[in-house]
């Protein structure tokens, strides 16, 4: 009996040792499919981003394995990010970064924190456009600054639109009331119906309205003018120190080997530089090209988190 127990223990130890072996073992990495966790439902921005990255990697034959996509929506991203974070050291698990990656832990609603992840790379930049109705009296940001009070919309209590509205209020020294809506479409309707003065949206959301002649863009939140909207000046060009974009980036669980980070940095750099990525994602969704390595992405994630902490404290959402 004792021999049987000893044998079982030895077998268990061997299995544990196998799973804890570093990537630099004899096996070539990667030698099995990559699990891409998407913390939101099918068809949303995070889903499109993850699947487009995977399709470009597959078509360019950049890795010898496939991506297995797993949508885990729920609790503002908490369910998916929790699953990804608990796979500590797993070089076969990935997730994409969203606004909820920052806000959900800060709200105390998530069993994960940013330190539970390893930043890999950023692959593009999603800026925001401040837009008004086509017949709005506001022809420029300076016109808006002359107003005593402005109104805009947001989805959720804490969002990039809410963050930017606070920046506008501080920089222009004007009161900005932020009205909660259930979806981006409702915010657009709010602007067109003159229920709110302006909105923030991604270029892919605003450009159809501009092309239809229903809205005008007054400013973009990027550091430079957008290639998709070259006639729209930045906030900084107009004298306001406002810059905020969402980096479309990829993370893995905490504790993955440096060799794994370097491997995927190289893969994602090739994706970012490919014409397939430009055609399928940048051109289609009007994002701007921007590749950042793991170290740069980590710094940008920290900086973005600090912005959310500041705004949430100011709103008395967190202490």
pLDDT in tens, 76-89: 788 999 999 999 99
14 pLDDT more than 70: no
Q: Which residues share a beta bridge with 70?
A: 37
Q: What is the pTM of this model?
A: 0.80
What is d(CA 95, CA 75) in angstroms, rounded to the nearest whole number?
A: 16
Cα dihedral: 162, 167, 173, 176 (round 10):
-10
Residue partners of 76: CB distance under 8 A and separation at least 6:
100, 103, 104, 107, 109, 110, 156
Q: Which pLDDT value is given to residue 19?
A: 38
Q: Which pLDDT value is given to residue 87?
A: 95
Mean pLDDT of the chain, nearest integer: 88
Q: Which pLDDT value is given to residue 12?
A: 44
187 pLDDT more than 70: yes
Q: Which pLDDT value is given to residue 104?
A: 87
Q: Which pLDDT value is given to residue 311?
A: 76
pLDDT 10s digits, 265-302 = 999 999 999 999 999 999 998 898 999 999 999 999 99
Q: Which pLDDT value is given to residue 246?
A: 86
Q: Which pLDDT value is given to residue 210?
A: 94
Q: Which pLDDT value is given to residue 85?
A: 95
Q: Which pLDDT value is given to residue 257?
A: 96
Q: Which pLDDT value is given to residue 76?
A: 78
208 pLDDT more than 50: yes
Q: Which pLDDT value is given to residue 268?
A: 98
Q: Which pLDDT value is given to residue 179?
A: 94
Nearest to 160 by CA among 312, 286, 40, 56: 312
* % of the chain with per-residue pLDDT over 70: 91
Compute the average pLDDT of residues 217-229. 93
What is d(CA 178, CA 154) in angstroms, rounded to the nearest whole number?
A: 7
What is d(CA 295, CA 120) in angstroms, rounded to the nearest whole number?
A: 8
What are the distances in angstroms from CA 92 to CA 16, 27, 31, 251? Answer: 17, 14, 9, 11
Task: Assign 188 to helix, strand or coil.
Answer: helix
22 pLDDT more than 60: no
What is d(CA 288, CA 131) in angstroms, rounded to the nearest whole number?
A: 18
Cα 234 to chain center, whole Å? 21
Q: Is the peptide bond before 30 cis (omega within 30 degrees of 0)?
A: yes
13 pLDDT more than 80: no
21 pLDDT more than 90: no
pLDDT 10s digits, 137-160 = 999 999 999 999 999 998 877 788
- Higher pLDDT among residues 1 and 185, named by residue: 185
């Amino acid at each position: 009996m004792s021999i049987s127990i000893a044998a079982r223990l030895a077998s268990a130890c061997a299995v544990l040792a196998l799973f804890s072996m570093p990537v630099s073992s004899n096996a070539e990495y990667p030698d099995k499919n990559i699990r891409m966790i998407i913390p939101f439902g099918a068809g949303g921005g995070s889903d499109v981003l993850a699947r487009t990255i995977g399709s470009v990697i597959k078509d360019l034959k950049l890795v010898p394995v496939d991506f297995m996509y797993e949508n885990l929506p729920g609790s503002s991203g908490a369910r998916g990010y929790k699953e990804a974070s608990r796979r500590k050291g797993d070089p076969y698990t990935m997730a994409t970064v969203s606004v909820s990656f920052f806000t959900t832990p800060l709200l105390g609603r998530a069993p994960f924190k940013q330190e539970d992840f390893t930043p890999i790379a950023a692959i593009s930049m999603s800026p925001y456009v401040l837009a008004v109705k086509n017949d709005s009296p506001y022809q420029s940001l300076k016109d808006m600054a002359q107003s005593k009070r402005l109104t805009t919309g947001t989805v959720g209590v804490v969002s990039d639109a809410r963050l930017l509205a606070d920046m506008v209020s501080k920089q222009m020294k004007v009161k900005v009331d932020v009205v909660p809506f259930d979806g981006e479409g409702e915010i657009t309707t709010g602007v067109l119906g003159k229920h709110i003065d302006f909105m923030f949206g991604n270029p892919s959301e605003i450009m159809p309205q501009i092309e239809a002649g229903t809205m005008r863009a007054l400013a973009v939140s990027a550091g430079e003018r957008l290639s998709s909207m070259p006639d729209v000046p930045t906030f900084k060009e107009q004298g306001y120190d406002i810059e905020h974009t969402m980096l479309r980036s990829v993370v893995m669980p905490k504790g993955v080997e440096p060799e794994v980070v370097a491997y995927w940095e190289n893969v994602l750099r090739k994706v970012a530089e490919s014409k397939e990525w430009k055609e399928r994602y940048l051109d289609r969704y009007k994002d701007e090209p921007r590749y950042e390595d793991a170290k740069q992405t980590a710094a940008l994630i920290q900086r973005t988190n600090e912005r959310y902490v500041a705004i949430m404290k100011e709103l008395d959402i967190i202490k």
